[in-house]
Structure formats: C-alpha cells, structure tokens
Structure 1
Amino acid sequence: MHHRISDGVHNNVHNSVHHDTRNDLRNDIRNDIRKGVRNGMPARDLGTQDWQRPWSDDAGGACVEVKKLADGRVAVRQSTDPDGPALVFTPYEMTSFLAGVKAGEADFLLPDF
C-alpha cells in the first residue's frame, strides 16, 4: 500500500507540474484579455514596434505582418491596414497552422492559374 501511495504522489506531482505550466499560460492569456489583448482588437493597440513581415506578395504591397507577444501568443495583421483588427493566436494554434501549411493542407486556398 505504501508503494502505491508514493506512486500516486509522484504521479500527482508530475501531473501538477505539467498542469501548472498550462494553467500559467491560461492565466497569462486571461490577464491579457482583462488588459485588452484579445482576438480582433485594433492592431494599433499592440504598439507599432516589433511587427515583422515574414512574407509578402510579388509586388511588395499587401503583406501579412506578425508580432510575437510577451506571453508567446502571435498577433497577425494586414500591412495595408495597420490600425485594423489583429488576430491573436496561441502558440499551439500557430504551431498547428504552420504545420498544416507546410504539409500542404492549405493549398486549396491558392488560386488556380
């Protein structure tokens, strides 16, 4: 019985560390939401610094700009509308999106030339 209790304690400690990390991220996101960082917010409210253009169109005009936020989330905005809405993605959402794009899962969005 003692052995089972110690296994349970070990598992609970291990699981609580893993859950604490996820809970910390959730709490950070909730705190940012209370401060106004949310999906669809005006991009200008995230500041003008640190926006990057990882890709752009051939004409160099319309680009998607991204900004990594302090809590690890990523904000995305349209360069031609820097005051417009920002989409805010969690690290997991961004990782999943990029993996899908790399795997060709978004190819249906491309125009047929």
Structure 2
Amino acid sequence: MDEISNGMAASAIEGARWRKSAYSNPSGNCVEVAPLPGGDVAVRNSRHPAGPALIYSRGEIAAFIQAAKNGDFDDLAL
C-alpha cells in the first residue's frame, strides 16, 4: 500500500472498511470513517466516495468525539 496522506483520494486507500453512523441521513448526506493500519482514522464525504479523505490520529478523533458529546458543536446543527 502506498503511504496514506491527508487529502488523498479515499478510493485509493486500499482495504479501507468505511462505515457511517446509524443516525445518518437516508439520502446519503453523511460522513464515513475507516480505521487505518497504525491507528489513524480516515474520514470522507459519503456523497463523494472517491473524493479526498482527511486523516486524523486516534487522539484527534477522541478529542472531537468528546467535544461533540459535551455539546461543543451543538450550535452548528441549528
């Protein structure tokens, strides 16, 4: 596998097992995530599965999830 890097085509991440939340919109407007070898996590837009993937460390993902649980982003849903 070539080196995985931020902004690379999500379709180029070999063996990625993409998944989305059970709360996802049925029209396909959602974010998908895939664990990567070494512990990083790839994120892509489900409407553009071959589009760019953003790559985050487990620590970055954990901080984002905790902030979402704490309501830090609730204003964005209004």
Q: TM-score range, shorter-chain basis?
A: 0.7 to 0.9
The code of the aligned residue for 2:18 comes to W
Q: Which residue of 1 aligns with 2:75?
A: 108
1:87 to 48, 54, 67: 54
Decide which structure has greater helix share.
1
Q: Would you say 1:52 and 2:29 are equivalent positions?
A: no
Q: Which residue of 2 aligns with 1:75?
A: 42
Equivalent residues, number = 77
Q: Would you say 1:97 and 2:73 are equivalent positions?
A: no
Partner SS, residue 56 of structure 1: coil
TM-score by length of 1: 0.62
Task: Point out where structure 2 has 5 or more consecutive residues left out of the alignment.
Answer: none
Instruction: Give % identity.
Output: 38
The code of the aligned residue for 1:107 comes to D
* Moved beyond 2 Å, runs of 4+: none
Larger Rg: 1
2:9 to 42, 57, 67: 42
Question: What's the offset of the Cα at 1:49?
Answer: 4.4
The code of the aligned residue for 1:39 comes to N
Superposition RMSD in Å: 1.8
Cα pair distance change 1:78/1:37, threshold 3 Å: same
